[in-house]
Amino acid sequence: MKTSAISRREMIKQSAGIVAGIVLAGGCTSSETKPSRSSQKGFKIGICDWILAKDTGPRTVEIAKQIGVDGIQLNFNTAGRPIHLQRPEIRDEYIKAARKCGLQIPSIAIVELNNVPLKGSDPHAEQWLSESIDVCQATGSKTVLVPFFGKGDLLGDEKGIDVVVEKLKKLSPKAEKAGVILGIESYLTAEQQLDIVNKVSSPAVGVYYDVANSQSKGYDICREIRLLGKHIAEFHAKDYDGLYGKGSIDFKAVRSAIDDIGYRGWLVMEGVKMPLGVEESCKYDAEFLRKIFPPSV
């Protein structure tokens, strides 16, 4: 399907204009205070803040609003700012920006755990996971994305898995009390992730499922979704091979599998292919997903 007769250069120019317009206009206006879609009968579309811009802080919420999503997933910290959302004044800026734009903060991602892994000996990893539960309570988020990539990869690391299980057991009571789910995201198979969930044996520990990451490992993602079922806390929508609907992920098949497990809730975009510029590509992806995963079904 052709996207438009407009040239790619013009698309990128328009995309840049969106961000410039946000800055000049001061972001969302005070009249845009309607709450985002709240019906759990359908789906909500979110976006990761780290794919929108680097180090722009709460302004990413305003960009997300322009893109047309329902919410934004916030990155807990980075190597350059290990203390970030833990700071009340920073956290409050995001909360105010989200409220002003009528968006939600569905989840918090501790991306820095890929460099300072939970399976390792650095005490900061466990401390961050504990603090992320507090941040969820402050922001109204229900899920913490706990990633295991890079230095934290668990594939073929049984000892590392054992360490992770023990740390999750230690922190799960706090998450249970807060009503927060710790969602593990990894390259492990569905069976291996279920093994971790079962060993921890807490309703506060589940799986954060990324369709593209699993497909990149050759897994049957629809089979995995059906196998994981109720243990899936939230989804990342992603396609390594193109804009959504133009790449290799069959989102209609994903919807069928999601229907089979009865999931209704957030699909958070983590776009990696941006041929039209970041904002225009994300707009395209969001509009595509909205047709398959509508707010009411």
The residues spanned by each domain of the chain are 42-292
Phi and psi at residue 34, to the nearest 5°: -65, 135
At 53 the pLDDT is: 81
Fold of 42-292: TIM Barrel (3.20.20)
> pTM for this structure?
0.87
At 56 the pLDDT is: 73
**pLDDT digit string (tens) for 117-143?**
999 999 999 999 999 999 999 999 999
As a 3-state breakdown, the chain gives helix, strand, coil percent values, each rounded to 5, of 50, 15, 35
Please indicate whether residue 41 or residue 208 has the higher confidence score (pLDDT). 208
At 15 the pLDDT is: 39
Residue 233: is its pLDDT beyond 90?
Answer: yes
**pLDDT digit string (tens) for 238-271?**
999 999 999 999 999 999 999 999 999 999 999 9
Q: Residue 1's pLDDT band (boundaries 50, 70, 90)?
A: very low
Q: What DSSP assignment string belongs to 221-254? A: HHHHHHHHGGGEEEEEE--TTSSTTTSS--HHHH
Q: Which amino acid is at 16?
A: A
